[in-house]
Chain A
Amino acid sequence: MEKILITLNINGDEHQVHTYYTRTLLEVLREDLHIKGTKQGCRAGECGACTVIMDDKPVNACMVLAAQAQGNTIVTIEDLAQGDELHPLQESFVENGAIQCGYCSPGFIMVGKALLDKNPDPTEDEIETAVSGNICRCTGYQKIIQAIDKVANNEVVS
């Protein structure tokens, strides 16, 4: 199978990879660049575990061909914490018991970030709608919704 050169802007860094033209952004992140905070759950756009932010929009990295993501600005979970200091959303997920097995958590946090960047004061219904493309089998969502809501209400100091 043919390989091509792909240039991606991820978390402010430029990366070049020579890889299969069929690889998705998720596959390039994980298999070529070893940036593995973005999780692989279904590879079909159905679980949201691989959510990254591309040009300010949350996208399933498994549904974007890496070649198509060239020229876009991509932000992954690794870019949220500043050194040791967690992003308020990460802090809120941690403090609120919103993380159990943790496999879906990066995806939920990225969806939460994309939402709050656009709409800093969402209603509970708007939060539920924003995360409705992400699935979590451990928590029942209640603590995830609350965690995002607390950040919106400035109840989390990190």
Chain B
Amino acid sequence: MNVVGKSITALDVKDKSRGIAEYVTDMQLPGMLIGKVLRSPLAHAKIKSIDTSAAEHLPGVKAVITYNDCPGIPFGLGFGQDDWTILAKDKVRFVGDEVAAVAAIDEETALRAVSLIKVNYEELPHVLDYKDALNDGAPVLHDEYPDNIAFTFNIERGEVDEAFERADLVVEATYRTSQAYQAYLEPMAGIAKWDSRENLTMWLPIQIPYKIRMIYGKALGISPGKIRVIKPAIGGAFGAKFEYPLHLIAAILAKKTGNPVKMVNTREEDMEAGNPRVPMEINVQLALTKEGKFIGKKSRLFTGNGARTVYGVPITSTATYRIDALYNFENVRGKADLIYTNTAPTGCMRGFGNSQMTVAMELLVDQAAQELGLDPMDVRLKNAFNDGDLNAHGWKINTCGLQASLDKIDEMCHWKERKEEKSSSEKLDKIQKGMGLASCMHVSGNRPFFRPFDGASSIIRIGEAGQIILIHAECDMGQGQDTAFAQLACEVLGASFDDIEVAMVDTQISSLGLGSFATRGTVIGGNGVINAAQEARKVLMEAAAKMTEKPQDELDSKNSFIIDKKTGEELCTFAEVGSDYAFSHGGMTLTGVGYYIPPTVLPDSTYYGNISPVYPYGTHVAEVEVDTDTGHVQVTNYWAVHDVGKVINPVLLEGQLEGGVAQGIGWALMEDMYYNDEGVLMNPNFLDYRIPGAKDLPPIHTAFVETNDPNGPFGAKGIGEPAINPVAAAVLNAIHDAVGIRFYELPVTPEKLRKALLEKKA
């Protein structure tokens, strides 16, 4: 292959290195105003009255809005809970809840105006922990949900009780995963502008440019067809950048003032009222034979929704049953409740629930292996799926690279040898070393995420000067998706990479696309690009045959030339064919349009049905040093091997994986959002909410196994989310290996570790 498999420099990184890539936070429109939000200082309160008069009279203020200025349509994100309003109606439900907003000539004036708005609150009792919210008499957030349970998920396959009865060993543990913050560097932002024909244009850093129109159309009481979303460069997202009230507030302010309005969260607002990871309490029971074969699994989950429902519903179901494609548990039963609390609404973060359950499962498997006296690597090998297997829920695993990833990582880090060395090493040193292993799987596309369809389409044009324009409707948020798509297109077209450009996603131009989530970009978007490129190539070769007066089967394309298939002679350029085509078609550009529908099904009422065209797998090993005096854990070395089906761009792939590992180490050791008793976030900044810095991270050694999945574009599977899934478990298993203590809660901070060491000694 000429382009696929090569470390081609990403299309946008030169501009980014020069500071000339344009992000929404950088954009400036004529007449643009700055908007700011008044947020609730209370976790739970009735709004008795709002006095905006002083704010309205401040010079430079162009609009002040409250709920009464909004259409007043309750809405949700498509999961049944219509628990959103653009601004708070009669009640605030968390510290940071949006109460009112201002548009003014500059930020200083807007902030001054916000401070002049007077709200009369009647404080209500609040509940911060999702388990506490289940107690009798707990404060109720939404009257429609008197038990605070927004959603319950149940799933069962096989003979679970029978499996547990015949098991040689049952292991059980309860884990708690933290409410991590995605910590993208560009805060949530948006610009809204209306024209005189009632069209709303929004410039958004957004992962789902199309779906968001449907939701915002409902919220604003207008047709989604009147909303145009343009997605410039995004300063990171990691799952956070989905529907967000700030965008709608900007739209209402823009409507009221007649000017474009830009809104950007401060970091504090972003942490207090963003949509961080769904925190979970996960109880898992695993039934095994004495040989280490899994024969049954029971799980019970409690998941924290925060004050309104973002993506907690599919995250909760994913957490409960996606893991059933990592190992063959044979008989499974799971139940989960998604629970409202007076804290920030929680949403997607890389891994989408599967990360949380992978932490629990991979810690429990380690414990089970220890109890059976088996190597954790062998236990995983014993329970892996084989190519072509169907899991309990009907998921078709065409290719499973789990075994290959385990074999490869053993080669790289000498897992088995080192483990033997370790068992004979000195145990009394202040610094204790350990190694931990964890595996993972994920999807590449999630059929039930957007019920009407899954799939992708794109348009490829070869212009009169040979310029190739790829128009797609997914979302590059920094992961390099545009570049990977361009590589796939060039490979199919036989084009030079220098000739291709990828258009900015603009819903007025591209077809309907679902965007970036569920690690679907490369596989689903990529297949859409390949199909469009094949269509474009058909037209190209027909036109070339006509032009060169040669039969099509004697022609080929390479490096943006039409060549003689036999001799390799360059007959003409794409530019010559492109101009000949356009000039003989009234200027119509040589175009290919293609689409892809994955071979998946919408699961039935029991959640049976194949949801993804491919399933990526991977295994990680962490090596740690625990300082037994301070409780500090330093990850000193890290190995990660992933089944990516086929490598499309090695450098971009390594970058995704290294970044996922870094985020996972942060989750394992550092990251949680702490609320005080009043529901105020205590660490809403990067000083108190630390994410890993350069000195916190080890050398990360990555490698890939290529399973060439028949459903992947050139065989590829996704990498985005699997990259983070096993990290925290690998680190915690390594800590156990080092000091003999199992932790059941993220993050393992020095305080917790030191306390556990003291308790162990006593």
Q: Are A36 and B19 in contact (CB under 8 A)?
A: yes
The one of A38, A78, A137 that contacts B183, using a Cβ cutoff of 8 Å: A137
CB-defined contacts of A138 to chain B, threshold 8 Å: 236, 478-479, 655, 659
Q: How far is the CA of A102 from the CA of B655 in the complex (A)?
A: 13
Q: Are A101 and B697 in contact (CB under 8 A)?
A: no
Q: Are A94 and B9 in contact (CB under 8 A)?
A: yes
Q: Chain B contact residues (Cβ within 8 angstroms of A): what range?
A: 35 or more
CB-defined contacts of B654 to chain A, threshold 8 Å: 97, 143
How near does chain A come to B411, taking the closest CB pair, in angstroms?
A: 21
Cβ proximity bits B1-37 to A, threshold 8 Å, 1 near / 0 not = 0000001011011111111110101101000000000
The one of A39, A49, A76, A135 that contacts B693, using a Cβ cutoff of 8 Å: A135
Q: How far is the CA of A43 from the CA of B108 in the complex (A)?
A: 14
How near does chain B come to A22, taking the closest CB pair, in angstroms?
A: 7
The one of B12, B108, B185, B233 that contacts A49, using a Cβ cutoff of 8 Å: B185
Q: In chain A, what residue has the closest Cβ to B234?
A: A101
Q: Are B663 and A137 in contact (CB under 8 A)?
A: yes
Q: Are B655 and A100 in contact (CB under 8 A)?
A: yes
The one of A76, A93, A145 that contacts B17, using a Cβ cutoff of 8 Å: A93
Q: Are B694 and A20 in contact (CB under 8 A)?
A: no
Q: A22-B108, A44-B685, A77-B19 are known contacts. Are A144 and B663 too (CB-CB below 8 A)?
A: no
CB-defined contacts of A105 to chain B, threshold 8 Å: 16-17
Chain A, 64-122, CB within 8 A of any chain B CB: 76-78, 80-81, 86, 90-91, 93-97, 99-106, 109
Q: Are A37 and B20 in contact (CB under 8 A)?
A: yes
Q: Are B9 and A139 in contact (CB under 8 A)?
A: no
Cβ proximity bits B222-250 to A, threshold 8 Å, 1 near / 0 not = 00000000000111101000000000000
Among A40, A47, A81, A143, which residue has the most Cβ atoms of chain B within 10 A?
A40
Q: How far is the CA of A55 from the CA of B13 in the complex (A)?
A: 28
Q: A97-B654, A142-B700, A145-B694 are known contacts. Are A46 and B687 too (CB-CB below 8 A)?
A: yes
CB-defined contacts of A134 to chain B, threshold 8 Å: 693-694
Q: Are A132 and B695 in contact (CB under 8 A)?
A: yes
Q: Are B694 and A144 in contact (CB under 8 A)?
A: yes
Q: How far is the CA of A104 from the CA of B183 in the complex (A)?
A: 12
Q: In chain A, what residue has the closest Cβ to B266?
A: A43
How near does chain B come to A20, taking the closest CB pair, in angstroms?
A: 6
In the complex, B106 has a CB within 8 A of chain A: yes
How near does chain A come to B115, taking the closest CB pair, in angstroms?
A: 12
Q: Are A78 and B686 in contact (CB under 8 A)?
A: no
Q: A39-B185, A145-B694 are known contacts. Are A135 and B12 too (CB-CB below 8 A)?
A: no
Cβ proximity bits A1-45 to B, threshold 8 Å, 1 near / 0 not = 100000000000000000010100000001100101111111110
CB-defined contacts of A144 to chain B, threshold 8 Å: 694
How near does chain B come to A38, taking the closest CB pair, in angstroms?
A: 7
How near does chain B come to A110, taking the closest CB pair, in angstroms?
A: 10
Q: Are B687 and A97 in contact (CB under 8 A)?
A: no
In the complex, A128 has a CB within 8 A of chain B: yes
Q: How far is the CA of A136 from the CA of B655 in the complex (A)?
A: 12
Q: Are B12 and A102 in contact (CB under 8 A)?
A: yes
CB-defined contacts of A136 to chain B, threshold 8 Å: 185
CB-defined contacts of A153 to chain B, threshold 8 Å: none
CB-defined contacts of A31 to chain B, threshold 8 Å: 106-107
Q: How far is the CA of A33 from the CA of B108 in the complex (A)?
A: 17
The one of B18, B233, B264 that contacts A80, using a Cβ cutoff of 8 Å: B18
Q: How far is the CA of A139 from the CA of B234 in the complex (A)?
A: 15
Q: Are A103 and B651 in contact (CB under 8 A)?
A: no
Q: How far is the CA of A90 from the CA of B18 in the complex (A)?
A: 7
Q: Are A36 and B267 in contact (CB under 8 A)?
A: no
Q: In chain A, what residue has the closest Cβ to B7?
A: A97
How near does chain A come to B726, taking the closest CB pair, in angstroms?
A: 15
How near does chain A come to B111, taking the closest CB pair, in angstroms?
A: 10
In the complex, B204 has a CB within 8 A of chain A: no
Q: Are B17 and A86 in contact (CB under 8 A)?
A: yes
Q: Are B695 and A129 in contact (CB under 8 A)?
A: yes
Q: Are A99 and B10 in contact (CB under 8 A)?
A: yes
Q: Are B13 and A99 in contact (CB under 8 A)?
A: yes
Cβ proximity bits B701-742 to A, threshold 8 Å, 1 near / 0 not = 000000000000000000000000000000000000000000
How near does chain A come to B238, taking the closest CB pair, in angstroms?
A: 7
CB-defined contacts of B675 to chain A, threshold 8 Å: none
Q: In chain B, what residue has the closest Cβ to A145?
A: B694
Q: Are B233 and A140 in contact (CB under 8 A)?
A: no
In the complex, A54 has a CB within 8 A of chain B: no
Q: Are B658 and A103 in contact (CB under 8 A)?
A: no
Q: Are A46 and B658 in contact (CB under 8 A)?
A: no
In the complex, B184 has a CB within 8 A of chain A: yes
In the complex, A151 has a CB within 8 A of chain B: no
Q: Are B662 and A20 in contact (CB under 8 A)?
A: no
The one of B183, B186, B661 that contacts A39, using a Cβ cutoff of 8 Å: B186
CB-defined contacts of B266 to chain A, threshold 8 Å: 43
Q: How far is the CA of A42 from the CA of B655 in the complex (A)?
A: 24
The one of A22, A77, A80, A135 that contacts B185, using a Cβ cutoff of 8 Å: A135
Q: How far is the CA of A93 from the CA of B18 in the complex (A)?
A: 11
Q: How far is the CA of A46 from the CA of B477 in the complex (A)?
A: 23
Q: A44-B267, A94-B14, A102-B13 are known contacts. Are A140 and B19 too (CB-CB below 8 A)?
A: no
Q: Are B7 and A76 in contact (CB under 8 A)?
A: no
Q: In chain A, what residue has the closest Cβ to B653?
A: A97
Q: A42-B267, A46-B686, A77-B18 are known contacts. Are A131 and B694 too (CB-CB below 8 A)?
A: yes
Q: In chain A, what residue has the closest Cβ to B480?
A: A100
CB-defined contacts of B19 to chain A, threshold 8 Å: 36-39, 76-78, 106
Q: How far is the CA of A94 from the CA of B694 in the complex (A)?
A: 19
How near does chain B come to A37, taking the closest CB pair, in angstroms?
A: 2
Q: How far is the CA of A132 from the CA of B20 in the complex (A)?
A: 24
Q: In chain A, what residue has the closest Cβ to B662?
A: A140
In the complex, B652 has a CB within 8 A of chain A: yes
Instruction: List 4 tightest A-B contacts by C-beta distance, closest first.
Output: A37-B19, A101-B478, A102-B16, A103-B235
Knowing that A44-B267, A47-B267, A101-B478 are A-B contacts, what are 10 other residue pairs whose CB atoms are under 8 Å apart, sorted by A's residue number?
A: A39-B235, A41-B186, A46-B686, A96-B651, A100-B659, A132-B694, A134-B694, A137-B185, A138-B236, A145-B694
Contact sample, A vs B, 5 pairs, CB 8 Å cutoff: A37-B19, A39-B185, A86-B14, A93-B13, A100-B479
Query: Interface of B with A (CB < 8 Å)?
Result: 7, 9-10, 12-21, 23, 25-26, 28, 106-108, 112, 182-187, 233-236, 238, 264, 266-267, 477-480, 651-652, 654-656, 658-659, 661-663, 685-687, 691-695, 697, 699-700
Query: Interface of A with B (CB < 8 Å)?
Result: 1, 20, 22, 30-31, 34, 36-44, 46-47, 49, 76-78, 80-81, 86, 90-91, 93-97, 99-106, 109, 128-129, 131-132, 134-145
